[in-house]
Structure 1
Amino acid sequence: MTEKVLIIDDDVNLLAGLKRQFRKRFDLCTAESGEQALALVKSHGPFAVAVCDMRMPGMDGIEVLGALKKLAPNTVRMMLTGNADQQTAINAINEGNIFRFFTKPCPPETLANGIKDGQEQYQLVTAERELLEKTLAGSVRILTDVLSMVDPEAFGKATKLRDWARKLAGYMNLPQPWKLDMAVMLSRIGWVAVPAEIQMKVRAREKLTHIEEEMIHEIPETGRKWIANIPRLKPVAEIVYYQDKCFDGGGFPDVKAGGEDIPLESRILKILNDLAEVSPDMVPGKDVFKLLEGQAKIYDPVILRAARECLSHTDGDAEGEERHEVAELPVSLIMAGHKLLSDIETENGQLILSRGLVITDAQMAKLRNIGRIHGIKEPIRVLKSLPTKA
């Protein structure tokens, strides 16, 4: 098995011995303290299995496994200790959710068999999670494909936000980036309930009546109700609900919440939404961030700083990264996977798909059908993927 194993113990002689015995059987890393172990998880994770001694200076084993549970919830956790009293075992199970409990001295083969069982458990858990995430992602993709046809402008904006969100999630090392990804793509779903004439007034920045303003404020609540009906997506529904809540407690919804009481992904989405409002570009400039920093109380300062560092520049075509080129093409040469750099409109000016969208097979079918009846303005400006550098 190739899944990595982390053993944590302050006994350097024990760690050296286990390295010699297990070097051909496991991809093994060791740490001499809880602090060192958590740093390794952040820099060299993920680990399939973590085996931790109970009695160590500084953080004890229960504290380490409890922190590890939050930092890397999929890692299978095990306890290794010379203190086998009942209360220690109870605390380890309750606070660290351990998979195995070993007492010292532990025969190497017993420990090896436990690690193998842990690797199998890790494979099972991650396979189930991957299946769930792919199933949910597929369902959301179908839903957003349909909604992008109903309201192409709103979902074109969501596609731009998703690109930013994926970069920022990687930069911040979010433990469950799929939640942010889905929340971004479903963040505009409530707009479907808003009459078209009111949507047009909002986009034209015309003054709204009191009733119309209430409809706009209800968009996140509407989205939450709809998304919550999808199994396992309640956390995503909450992210969408709080996407307009300010870090200082202001904004919608009108509930007592602020700071870190607001879901992390909602705080990210608030910044991305406001960036999109003031930046028409795919890469927001540093001047755009200065506008947001002028209203610092509204945003989580840690996330705002991370967004500026991550999004306000491009690194060019770094080796191994995906490369692109801009092209102007007729409809007949547009393909699924192309990213729109201009709106697609019928010959009489009706918007079909908004700039920023990545074309899907469903949208291609729509383009062909509309083109046969009404005709489509050509050429269409797109971003095409190129082969990556070796």
Structure 2
Amino acid sequence: MTERILFVDDEPNILDTFRRNLRRAFDVATAEGPEQGLLALESAGPFAVVVSDLRMPVMDGIAFLEHVRERAPDAVRIILSGHGDFATAVAAVNRGAVFRFLTKPCPPEELVGVLRDGLRQHRLVVAERELLRGTLRGSVQVLTDVLALVNPEAFGRSERIRDLVVKLGARLDAKPLWQLELASMLCQLGCVALPPDTLRKRLAGEDLTAEEQQIWGMHPEIAANLLTNIPRLGEVAAMIGAQQLPPGPDVPLGARILRAALDYDVELRRGLSPSLAVAALRVQAERYDPAVLAALAASVADASDVPMREVPLTGLRPGMVLARDLTNAAGTPLLLAGQRLSDASISRLRNLSDILQTDGAAWVVDGVRKGPGA
């Protein structure tokens, strides 16, 4: 994609000069005034560099670049102004996070040099973000693969609550949602350190002894400690570490959502219907955030209207969510309702269908969702 530069000024003749003098070297767009500049960001972006005049009606250049910073954080911001006092330059740097502060009249060769520097800075910002995104995705993939191999029960639980957690987050305006989704995917990571029997009893909804309950209470902290050193996962680790805490102002919203979703999943595994599972949580309302419980009840009510369909094993696709437990001929669950299908689980079902004695079909919820954007 061609890297574009947006010039914003309230004087049309100056914008004409920019277009005429720079069009051979750069892909230039112009906007007359800050309001038109913000519209251009939405309708004609993305822009690698945004150059703004300082003194404009309605909104000055510093305030305009603050909006640019919020809406297009990767865009490199430059002030080009006829007013070059020191206090104004400091305000531009502190509020608008500008890359350069130029004064009019600016020699063409200086402007061209600064624009090229701005484009290079934009490339560095984008490259660093993509590197972090790739590192993050790779790290999460490794961790979920390890969890699936070492403790498939815990992995299945995190997969079952994933869609529900995202829906609750959307209802409660939890941002960014990708952090909450990652927290749901990794919230059971600490279970790799738990005794298998303790985990089995907990996931089956059986009562734990005092000693087992103490051991179970350790897994959020174990997971949080594992995640703390991974770039950009600090807030995800905080959600996971607090997932068993009672609601309070110091407990992240993501942790409160996790707690309700995980306990709801336990009630489902006890054999309760979705509506009765919500009612069971409401009996212990002091354990949960009232807003989260209300969002859970609404999501469960909406889910009752979601269409299901029966799909042969050959028609299963990664990302589909099981609407019912997938069992073998003896009634033993192979995959549980709410679990998202992956390439690995689909391959296992197809390759071992005779051994596993499946009936060759599964009930799934319509729609395939993609993974989290990081």
> Which position in structure 2 is the counterpart of 1:326?
309
> Which position in structure 2 is the counterpart of 1:213?
213
Q: Deviations 1:104-132 (Å, cap 9, x if unpaired)? A: 34468865765565345334422432343
Aligned letter for 1:327? E
SS at 1:79's partner residue? strand
| 1:51/1:272 CA distance change after superposition, 3 Å | farther
Alignment pair present for 1:360 and 2:362: no
Displacement after TM superposition at 1:76 (Å): 1.9
SS at 2:51's partner residue? strand
Task: Among all aligned residue pairs of Structure 1 and Structure 2, give the percentage whose two residues are the same amino acid.
Answer: 35
CA distance in 2: counterparts of 1:307 and 1:14, whole angstroms: 57
| 1:277/1:234 CA distance change after superposition, 3 Å | same
Does the CA contact (< 8 Å) of 1:159 and 1:356 recur in 2? yes
Q: How does 1:257-296 map to 2 (within 5 A)?
A: 257-258=250-251, 262=252, 265-266=254-255, 269=258, 273=262
> Which position in structure 2 is the counterpart of 1:241?
241
> Which position in structure 2 is the counterpart of 1:103?
103
Q: Deviations 1:121-168 (Å, cap 9, x if unpaired)? A: 334422432343134213322432342344444433433443355567
> Which position in structure 2 is the counterpart of 1:379?
360
Q: How does 1:215-230 map to 2 (within 5 A)?
A: 215-230=215-230
> Which position in structure 2 is the counterpart of 1:50?
50
CA distance in 2: counterparts of 1:59 and 1:242, whole angstroms: 43
Does the CA contact (< 8 Å) of 1:71 and 1:175 recur in 2? no
Structure 1, unaligned runs of 5 or more: 250-256, 318-323
Q: TM-score, length-normalised on structure 2?
A: 0.69
Displacement after TM superposition at 1:220 (Å): 1.6
Aligned letter for 2:310? A
Counterpart among 31, 34, 37 of residue 32 in structure 1: 34
CA distance in 1: counterparts of 2:168 and 2:75, whole angstroms: 24
> Which position in structure 1 is the counterpart of 2:79?
79
Q: Deviations 1:40-85 (Å, cap 9, x if unpaired)? A: 8689875543334444677654455456545543232222333322
SS at 1:74's partner residue? coil
| 1:111/1:95 CA distance change after superposition, 3 Å | same
Does the CA contact (< 8 Å) of 1:55 and 1:61 recur in 2? yes
**Could you say what the CA RMSD is over the residues aligned between the two structures, in angstroms?**
5.1
Aligned letter for 1:343? D
SS at 2:208's partner residue? coil
Aligned letter for 2:323? L
Structure 2, unaligned runs of 5 or more: 369-374
CA distance in 2: counterparts of 1:308 and 1:12, whole angstroms: 55
Displacement after TM superposition at 1:186 (Å): 0.7
SS at 2:102's partner residue? strand
SS at 1:26's partner residue? strand
SS at 1:139's partner residue? helix
CA distance in 2: counterparts of 1:341 and 1:382, whole angstroms: 5
Of the structure 1 ranges 361-370 and 19-28, higher mean CA displacement relative to structure 2 is found in: 19-28
CA distance in 2: counterparts of 1:146 and 1:199, whole angstroms: 17
CA distance in 2: counterparts of 1:159 and 1:140, whole angstroms: 13
Rg (Cα) greater in structure: 2
Q: Deviations 1:361-380 (Å, cap 9, x if unpaired)? A: 333454467556x4233233
SS at 2:50's partner residue? strand
CA distance in 1: counterparts of 2:285 and 2:107, whole angstroms: 60
Aligned letter for 2:155? F
Displacement after TM superposition at 1:190 (Å): 1.8
Aligned letter for 1:359? L
| 1:86/1:349 CA distance change after superposition, 3 Å | same
| 1:105/1:182 CA distance change after superposition, 3 Å | same
Displacement after TM superposition at 1:198 (Å): 2.3
Alignment pair present for 1:198 and 2:198: yes
Alignment pair present for 1:181 and 2:181: yes
Of the structure 1 ranges 305-314 and 139-148, higher mean CA displacement relative to structure 2 is found in: 305-314
CA distance in 2: counterparts of 1:212 and 1:192, whole angstroms: 15
SS at 2:27's partner residue? coil
Q: TM-score, length-normalised on structure 1?
A: 0.66
Displacement after TM superposition at 1:224 (Å): 0.5
Q: Deviations 1:313-350 (Å, cap 9, x if unpaired)? A: 58x99xxxxxx9733425x6655454433334455555
| 1:167/1:30 CA distance change after superposition, 3 Å | farther
SS at 2:148's partner residue? helix
Displacement after TM superposition at 1:241 (Å): 1.8
Does the CA contact (< 8 Å) of 2:34 and 2:59 recur in 1? no
Q: How does 1:62-141 map to 2 (within 5 A)?
A: 62=62, 65-66=65-66, 68-69=68-69, 72-106=72-106, 114-115=114-115, 117-141=117-141
CA distance in 2: counterparts of 1:175 and 1:39, whole angstroms: 24
| 1:12/1:83 CA distance change after superposition, 3 Å | closer
Displacement after TM superposition at 1:237 (Å): 1.8
Displacement after TM superposition at 1:223 (Å): 0.8
| Equivalent residue pairs, number | 360
Displacement after TM superposition at 1:234 (Å): 3.2
